[in-house]
């Protein structure tokens, strides 16, 4: 089988916002407690945070982390997480039927995020709280001094403001599982008023308003349109959430799910542009895909959890090789939509449907999905190039004419290179892949790595991580044409120096 990519230096999609490689940490399961924070662990720092986990997060180069939820957010009082730890209340978390100790709160998380090199995408509670709490937390975090909330922050040890740039206006507010769920009219009005006062406190912040909770929601499209009628002038991004799984054990259908992601993104873009046209606005509203991942392995186990435990194991999917391939396809799809998707948050970062797993008082290790995410975060910077792809396709249950290759090309002028991420979806055949890079002069191949050759159900464990990049066969260059062989069922990274 053959595949030919053609790109031209002059034809681009967009520069990539570094926040495309963001993640998410919610107070649920073992994401925080015995995930990033475990004071009794052998590697714990003076503040109780695991150094082994910090090292893995730094390896991912995660630029922004959404916090503290998620469903947890809609019942959370941010004031519970400030002040002396010994004075903080324990609360019932109704979202996940657990007990929240509030040992880790706003200051602890901000300090941890700074240590791992991440900004924080702070989410505010618009389920049980509202406008007053929204303006107060912005004042607490971002106002320099001289007011009640800013001086209280200083009293709690943070002399300088946190300067949090990005804020989410609630979470999945159309979901009947959400504490304080609302109609589109109710949420749109509340979000607009919260947005106004938050920006009055700090005009420099950016705001993400909630889209519907997923493409399958009966509210989808009408929710977005109604909410944006109220909020378009006040917000900067509209959120999307989507999770993917393979419960039917149909590999070819599973690997085609990035086609569905692409259609979802383009549908939401169309809604945003409809409201833009209706309002006769010059403003282009961009997207924050602030929850996306693979999630289905843990469903059966989670249904047996006893309620009201402290940090029980929840949503601890153990990822396999086929999951790594789909994750690569999803990453490529986000990059191909970088003209409108500016923020994306892999949900989540540690233990809870995450690329990093930990054992309580034990090891931390990289899941099968760790490496595709890490490689794109390291090398996926610069400008996405438009490309034409000639390749055979196939039909499956949900999608027709699915190309056997999912690919994207990125020009990084700072590093003087072109990077190609490419997945071969074929389970049987290798693919002779060529890329004609018009307008570029290729000097040599810097890297050609692949993840391939595994049983589709193979996983990484604390003892061994076989699903990792390895050197692929040598790629060749002839003028401005790059040629390489893509192994059957493979994730590939090809970097050429210009």
- Whole-angstrom distance, CA of residue 109 vs CA of residue 121: 12
Per-residue pLDDT tens over the stretch 281-293: 999 999 999 999 9
Specify the pLDDT at position 493: 98
Q: Is 291 a catalytic residue?
A: yes
- Whole-angstrom distance, CA of residue 176 vs CA of residue 183: 10
- Whole-angstrom distance, CA of residue 291 vs CA of residue 345: 5
Alpha-carbon distances of 411 from 138, 414, 421, rounded to whole Å:
37, 9, 12
Specify the pLDDT at position 285: 98
User: Worst-scoring range by mean pLDDT, 135-149, 254-268, 297-311?
Assistant: 297-311
Specify the pLDDT at position 304: 82
Per-residue pLDDT tens over the stretch 411-422: 999 999 999 999
Specify the pLDDT at position 56: 98
Burial class (CB in 10 A: 0-12, 13-18, 19+), 211: buried
Burial class (CB in 10 A: 0-12, 13-18, 19+), 224: buried
Sequential DSSP letters for 391-413: --EE--SS-SSEESEEEEEEEET
Q: Is the dihedral of CA 32, 35, 37, 39 positive or negative?
A: positive
> Which tokens in the block code for residue 28?
């649920």
Rounded average pLDDT over 58-86: 97
Strand partners, 176: none
Examine the pLDDT at 473 and tell me if it is beyond 90.
no
Q: How many CB atoms lie within 10 A of CB 146?
A: 8
Examine the pLDDT at 49 and tell me if it is beyond 90.
yes
Specify the pLDDT at position 305: 85
Rounded average pLDDT over 54-66: 98
The pTM (predicted TM-score) of the whole model is 0.96
Confidence of residue 73 (pLDDT cuts 50, 70, 90): very high
Q: Look-up: residue for tokens 């002839």?
A: 478
> Which tokens in the block code for residue 305?
């959890």
- Whole-angstrom distance, CA of residue 410 vs CA of residue 183: 41
Q: With beta carbons less than 8 A apart as the criterion, state whether 12 and 381 touch.
A: no
Specify the pLDDT at position 168: 98
Specify the pLDDT at position 302: 87
- Whole-angstrom distance, CA of residue 223 vs CA of residue 211: 7
Q: How many CB atoms lie within 10 A of CB 293?
A: 27
Mean per-residue pLDDT of the chain: 97
Specify the pLDDT at position 140: 98
Examine the pLDDT at 110 and tell me if it is beyond 90.
yes
Confidence of residue 71 (pLDDT cuts 50, 70, 90): very high
Specify the pLDDT at position 108: 98
- Collect all residues with Cβ–Cβ distance below 8 Å to 45 and sequence separation of at least 6: 51, 54
Specify the pLDDT at position 369: 98
Per-residue pLDDT tens over the stretch 156-191: 999 999 999 999 999 999 999 999 999 999 999 999
Per-residue pLDDT tens over the stretch 273-319: 999 999 999 999 999 999 999 999 999 888 888 999 999 999 999 99
Specify the pLDDT at position 126: 98
Spot the catalytic one: 79, 291, 406, 450.
291
Q: Is 316 a catalytic residue?
A: no
Spot the catalytic one: 172, 224, 316, 406.
172
The 3-state DSSP class for residue 140 equals: helix
Name the nearest CA neighbour of 408 among 443, 371, 427, 383.
383
Rounded average pLDDT over 393-408: 96
Name the nearest CA neighbour of 301 among 353, 361, 242, 370.
353
Rounded average pLDDT over 202-219: 96
Strand partners, 475: none
Rounded average pLDDT over 6-26: 98
Examine the pLDDT at 451 and tell me if it is beyond 90.
yes
């Amino acid at each position: 089988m053959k595949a030919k990519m053609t790109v031209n230096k002059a034809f681009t999609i967009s520069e990539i916002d570094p926040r495309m490689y963001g993640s998410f940490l919610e107070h649920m399961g073992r994401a925080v407690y015995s995930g990033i924070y475990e004071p009794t662990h052998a590697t714990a720092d003076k503040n109780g945070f695991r150094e082994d986990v910090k090292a893995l997060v730094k390896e991912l180069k995660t630029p922004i982390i959404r916090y503290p939820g998620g469903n947890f957010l809609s019942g959370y009082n941010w004031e519970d997480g400030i002040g002396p730890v010994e004075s903080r209340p324990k609360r019932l978390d109704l979202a996940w039927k657990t007990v929240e100790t509030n040992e880790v709160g706003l200051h602890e998380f901000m300090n941890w995020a700074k240590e791992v090199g991440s900004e924080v995408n702070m989410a505010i509670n618009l389920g049980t709280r509202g406008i007053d709490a929204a303006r107060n937390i912005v004042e607490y975090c971002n106002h320099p001094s001289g007011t009640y909330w800013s001086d209280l922050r200083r009293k709690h040890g943070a002399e300088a403001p946190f300067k949090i740039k990005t804020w989410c206006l609630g979470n999945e507010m159309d979901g009947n599982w959400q504490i304080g769920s609302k109609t589109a009219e109710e949420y749109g009005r509340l979000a607009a008023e919260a947005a106004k006062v938050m920006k009055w406190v700090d005009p420099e912040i950016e705001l993400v308003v909630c889209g519907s909770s997923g493409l399958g929601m009966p509210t989808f499209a009408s929710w977005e349109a109604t909410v944006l009628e109220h909020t378009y002038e006040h917000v900067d991004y509209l959120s999307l959430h989507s999770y993917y799984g393979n419960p039917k054990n149909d590999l070819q259908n599973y690997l085609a799910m990035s086609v569905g992601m692409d259609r979802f993104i383009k549908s939401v873009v169309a809604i945003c542009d409809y409201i833009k046209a209706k309002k006769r606005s010059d403003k282009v509203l961009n997207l924050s895909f602030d929850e996306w991942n693979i999630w289905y392995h843990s469903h059966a186990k989670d249904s047996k959890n006893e309620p009201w435990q402290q940090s029980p194991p929840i949503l601890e999917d153990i990822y396999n090789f086929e999951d790594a391939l789909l994750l690569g396809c999803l990453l490529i799809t986000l990059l191909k939509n970088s003209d409108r998707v500016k923020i994306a948050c892999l949900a989540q970062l540690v233990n809870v449907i995450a690329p990093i797993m930990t054992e309580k008082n034990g090891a931390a290790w990289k899941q099968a999905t760790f490496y595709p995410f890490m490689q794109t975060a390291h090398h996926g910077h610069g400008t996405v190039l438009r490309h034409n792809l000639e390749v055979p396709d196939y039909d499956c249950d949900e999608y027709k004419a699915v190309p056997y290759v999912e690919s994207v090309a990125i020009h990084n002028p700072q590093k003087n290179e072109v990077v190609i991420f490419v997945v071969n979806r074929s389970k049987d055949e290798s693919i002779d892949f060529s890329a004609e890079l018009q307008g570029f002069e290729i000097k040599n191949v810097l890297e050609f790595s692949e993840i391939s050759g595994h049983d589709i159900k193979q996983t990484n464990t604390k003892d061994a991580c076989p699903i990792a990049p390895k050197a692929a066969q040598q790629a060749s260059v002839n003028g401005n044409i790059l040629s390489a062989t893509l192994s059957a069922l493979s994730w590939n990274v090809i970097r050429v120096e210009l």
